[in-house]
A and B are shown apart, each in its own frame.
Chain A
């Protein structure tokens, strides 16, 4: 199925947000996930299933002034 991740289309298997983050090789504790314009708290990542045409923004805190 196709979803949008950080503005780019991607073809992914059925999975939860947590599984997706792990597949990307990211440590869950360093990222912030916006899912269809809503923030999903880390404790809810495992139960949130990604569906066709979903929009994921995967963000992190970086240095800035």
Chain B
């Protein structure tokens, strides 16, 4: 499938698996995971420095050919998210930004209303905006109108590894959205990623399930293969589902 690149904003991606840098036991594992998975875009976060702890520069662990997707995690309002996005771009992270505005600290549900406000502001400033959202078609259409480069509905709560609990809502988005739909959050194992891709999602974003696996590089590769398998299946158009058997060998007796 040579002609199956995913275009988001000005960039084309061969890999439909996007990854994250959170929760790795050691930052050294990140470049290994990227090499094994072939992921071409990875999220990073921005935080106040803890003066009592040693600080590493996360960006040093990300090869230059991988697109940085800074997130606005920690933002509780549109204004905070805008501020984080501008800082990330100013320091050379590029134009891609994952909008994450969260006030619910138990389930980490994104606030679609604030997310829409941020998208309107940042798209006008030339950012390539990828909003993390609750799967809801009307909001997705408004995000598109506001200039979002993709929409990223959640499968289940961040880090929960529960898989795609919002399946039908995401299917409605896939059917009706014109920008790419990236299933983000909750994908806990490769089969979840394959399921998302079989549904017709354009890409998946996986962090916790890879980062906290015993072998993140191998799990990254497993997710990459599953993402690819699901994409192939979607493109191949799956066979129909029936209730009763449909013989795959001739039904006549062997010698009669």
User: What per-residue 1/0 map shows which CB atoms of B16-58 lie under 8 Å from chain A?
Assistant: 0000111110010010000000000001111111010001111
Q: Are B22 and A65 in contact (CB under 8 A)?
A: yes
User: What per-residue 1/0 map shows which CB atoms of B70-92 lie under 8 Å from chain A?
Assistant: 11010000000001001100110
Asked if B112 is at the interface (CB within 8 A of a chain A CB), the reply is no
User: What per-residue 1/0 map shows which CB atoms of B155-188 lie under 8 Å from chain A?
Assistant: 0001100000000000000000000000001000
Q: B-contacting residues of A (Cβ < 8 Å)?
A: 6-7, 24-27, 29-32, 34, 37, 39, 41, 57-65
Q: Are A32 and B207 in contact (CB under 8 A)?
A: no
What's the least CB distance linking A20 to chain B, in Å?
A: 12
Known: A61-B58, A61-B59, A63-B45. A39 touches B86 (CB 8 A): yes
With a cutoff of 8 Å between Cβ atoms, the chain A residues found around residue B67 in the complex are none
19 other A-B residue contacts (CB within 8 Å) besides A29-B57, A62-B46: A26-B55, A31-B55, A32-B46, A39-B87, A58-B48, A60-B46, A60-B55, A60-B58, A61-B46, A61-B59, A61-B70, A61-B93, A62-B44, A63-B20, A63-B23, A63-B30, A64-B21, A65-B185, A65-B208
Contact check: which of A6, A41, A60, A64 meets B57 at CB < 8 Å?
Answer: A60
Give A64 to B222 CA distance when docked, in angstroms: 21
**Chain A, residue nearest B27 (CB):** A63
Give A25 to B55 CA distance when docked, in angstroms: 10
With a cutoff of 8 Å between Cβ atoms, the chain A residues found around residue B49 in the complex are 6, 26, 31, 58-60
User: What per-residue 1/0 map shows which CB atoms of B187-224 lie under 8 Å from chain A?
Assistant: 00000000000000000010110010000000000000
Q: A-contacting residues of B (Cβ < 8 Å)?
A: 20-24, 27, 30, 43-49, 51, 55-59, 70-71, 73, 83, 86-87, 90-91, 93, 158-159, 185, 205, 207-208, 211
**Chain B, residue nearest A39 (CB):** B90
With a cutoff of 8 Å between Cβ atoms, the chain A residues found around residue B30 in the complex are 63
Q: Are A30 and B44 in contact (CB under 8 A)?
A: no
Give A31 to B71 CA distance when docked, in angstroms: 17
Q: Nearest 7 pairs between A and B by C-beta?
A: A64-B45, A65-B207, A65-B20, A39-B90, A30-B57, A63-B21, A61-B58
With a cutoff of 8 Å between Cβ atoms, the chain B residues found around residue A25 in the complex are 51
Give A61 to B58 CA distance when docked, in angstroms: 6
With a cutoff of 8 Å between Cβ atoms, the chain A residues found around residue B70 in the complex are 61
**Chain B, residue nearest A37 (CB):** B83
Contact check: which of A6, A30, A37 meets B48 at CB < 8 Å?
Answer: A6
Q: Are A30 and B56 in contact (CB under 8 A)?
A: yes
**Chain B, residue nearest A27 (CB):** B55
Give A49 to B32 CA distance when docked, in angstroms: 41
Give A41 to B21 CA distance when docked, in angstroms: 25
Give A37 to B205 CA distance when docked, in angstroms: 31
